[in-house]
Structure formats: structure tokens, C-alpha cells
Structure 1
Amino acid sequence: MNFKYAKLFVRKALRLFYFSLNILRGVKLPYSTKINGYSVLTKLTHLGRNCHFNGLKIRGGGKVTIGDNFHSGELCLFITDIHNYKGNAVPYDNTIITKDINIGNNVWIGTGVTILGGVNIADGAIIQAGSVVVSDIGYCEIAGGHPARVFAERDLNHYENCVKEKRFF
């Protein structure tokens, strides 16, 4: 390995180490967590085992709970705070409304998905790339669009056999 490539490798390793220490400060990461893209988590983020982040930003002061075997695509955004547009000024006042986000086990979030506060996504759900999730998604449902709507379900027998046999990626 020549010096140019060694220097590039060390720079990338230090950058990943820096992000792990500074951007994720205060977040307890299970050993099996994989961060493959720039991700920002808050101190109120609670992670299950075997979570894969390919680029997820969590904004706001709400609690975000993510279950086991979670996968996200790139450029995903979870927003737990909104401005109070019903307050004493327009377009909004200086108060913030905070709502939690709950993500179940074995959930796959596609690239460019936005999830707003107050949403619960149940076990086994899949969210199509580019979707904006503003309401709850049920067990093994597949949703997409803006706003996200359920358009299909997973094969329940296949899903439950994979879970029973502990076949997780």
C-alpha cells in the first residue's frame, strides 16, 4: 500500500471515529449496530440490536425508539418537533410541540424517507423510498407515498418463519 492510499485510509477511519464520538455522544450503541453512512442520533434515541444506518438524521427533543434488526436507506429524516401554528402568532409562535416516534422490530425504511413525530411503525413494516410517514403503519404492512399509505402486506407465513428461525440480515 503506497503512502497516498494509507493516508486516505487513515483519514476515513479517523472521520468515522470522530462521528462515532461526537455525533452519537450520549447514545448507547449495541455492539451489533452498523453505521454505514453519516447519521445523527439524539440522546433520546433508544436502539435495539442489529440496527443498520445508511444515513439517518433524527431531529428534535422527542424520544425515538428503534427495535431490533432495523435497516434504513440513505437520507432518512425523523422529525420529533414541530412549531406551534395554533399559538399566539402567525405563521407560528415560539413554542415547540414534541411527539415521540416508535419503530418496531424488523423494519426496513427506504432511501429518503421522512417520519414525523407521533408515528408508530409496527414490527415487520416496510416503508417505500421517498415516502413521508405521517400516521401509524401496522404489522407487516408495506406503505409508500406522500403521505404514506398502505398498499400491500408482507407474506405473513414467510415473515413469521424467518423470525421464528432467527434469520436476520
Structure 2
Amino acid sequence: MLRQVFKKIYRLRRFFFRAIVLNQARECGRGLKVNSWSWVSKETKLADNVNFNGMSIRGSGSVVIGSNFHSGKDCLIISDIHNYEGTEIPYDSGLIKKNVVIEDNVWVGDRVIVLGGVTISEGAIVQAGSVVTKDVPKCAIVGGHPAQVFKFRDIERYERLKDEGRFH
């Protein structure tokens, strides 16, 4: 009985979290799953089968997330920066937009930070705790602060699984 109550509460929470993201995002494809508190900016575009487990997308720049994206817990994407070369110090009231693109089939681990102006290419994996400050190549596995490539996925296997439509 208690297990059934917890399942219902969990489903209700997921419904609530999903509704928040759907209300905020500029565009959203099919199959959105939001398992934990998440917040997206009004400049966010989500493709199909996006899975958030605790995502915060902040800033005025565009954020485009491709299909079959999975995030870990407590992730952050920042799509603008303060204007530190303006008329005041340490920065003025202006913001500089820095767009973010995350292509299809990307997996981002827990507590990853993605800074503006970055593209994370198709099939990439970002290790938990990383800070992505520059573009990530296709099928790269990156980690660290700043995130650096330390390995690549088996691209033949990746392409075969993709062709077979085997998406989680």
C-alpha cells in the first residue's frame, strides 16, 4: 500500500516538473521526461525524447537541445555573460548572448556546467562534474574543468545502434 502511494507521488511530481518545462520552453518535441526540478529559459528549444533529471537553463541566448538527450542531476547551462568591457567595472548592466547547441544523442552527467558559446556534437558524453567551455567533437567523451577529450566512443557501433533506432 505504501509503495503504491509513493509511486503515485513520484508520477505526480514528474507530471508537475514536465508541465513547468513545457510552459517555459519555446519549442518542445515529443516524449519529454522531467524526473526532477528543472527550469529552462524562454529561448530553449527541445527536440524529441529529451530527459532531464535536474536541469537549469539560464540566460538570454538560444539553447537548442537535440533528440535523445539525457542529463544527470543538478546540471546548469548558462547562455549569456555580463559585459565586463562596458562602461562600468567590474561589469555594466548589459548582457552578451552566448548560444548553446547540444546535438542528438548526448549524455551529460551529474552536476555538469555548460557555458555559453558552446556546441556539444552528436553522440558526445560529458563526465559528471565537468565544466564545458569549448566545443565538443562528435562521439567524444570529455571530462574535467575545463572539459577535455580523453576518449572517443566506438563510432562504428554508435552508427549501427543509431541506424537500428536503439535509443534509451
TM norm structure 2:
0.90
Gaps of 5+ in 2: none
In the TM superposition, residue 137 of structure 1 has moved relative to its aligned partner by 0.3
In the other structure, the counterpart of 1:159 is 158
In the other structure, the counterpart of 1:46 is 45
Q: C-alpha offsets along residues 18-76 of structure 1, whole Å, 9 cap, x if unaligned?
A: 44444541424333111111111122111111111111100011111111110000000
The amino acid that maps onto 2:124 is A
The amino acid that maps onto 2:52 is F
Aligned CA RMSD, in angstroms, stands at: 1.9
Q: C-alpha offsets along residues 87-108 of structure 1, whole Å, 9 cap, x if unaligned?
A: 1111111110111100011100
Q: When the two structures are aligned, how many residues end up with a matched partner?
A: 166
Q: Give, in whole Å, the separation in 2 of the partners of 1:133 and 1:160.
A: 24
Gaps of 5+ in 1: none
In the other structure, the counterpart of 1:126 is 125
Inter-CA distance 158–96: structure 2 relative to 1 (3 Å threshold): same
Q: C-alpha offsets along residues 115-138 of structure 1, whole Å, 9 cap, x if unaligned?
A: 011000110101010000010001
TM norm structure 1:
0.89
Query: Is contact 2:99-2:118 (8 Å) kept?
Result: yes
- Equivalent residue of 1:25, what SS? helix
Alignment of 1:10-21 (within 5 A): 14-21=12-19
Alignment of 1:37-76 (within 5 A): 37-76=36-75
Q: Percent of counterpart pairs with the same letter?
A: 48
The amino acid that maps onto 1:152 is K
Higher CA-based Rg: 1
Would you identify which runs of 4 or more consecutive aligned residues in structure 1 move more than 2 Å?
8-24, 26-31
Q: Give, in whole Å, the separation in 2 of the partners of 1:23 and 1:53.
A: 10
Query: Is contact 1:24-1:41 (8 Å) kept?
Result: no
Query: Is contact 1:124-1:140 (8 Å) kept?
Result: yes
Q: Give, in whole Å, the separation in 2 of the partners of 1:149 and 1:117.
A: 16
Q: Give, in whole Å, the separation in 2 of the partners of 1:103 and 1:10.
A: 33
In the other structure, the counterpart of 2:113 is 114
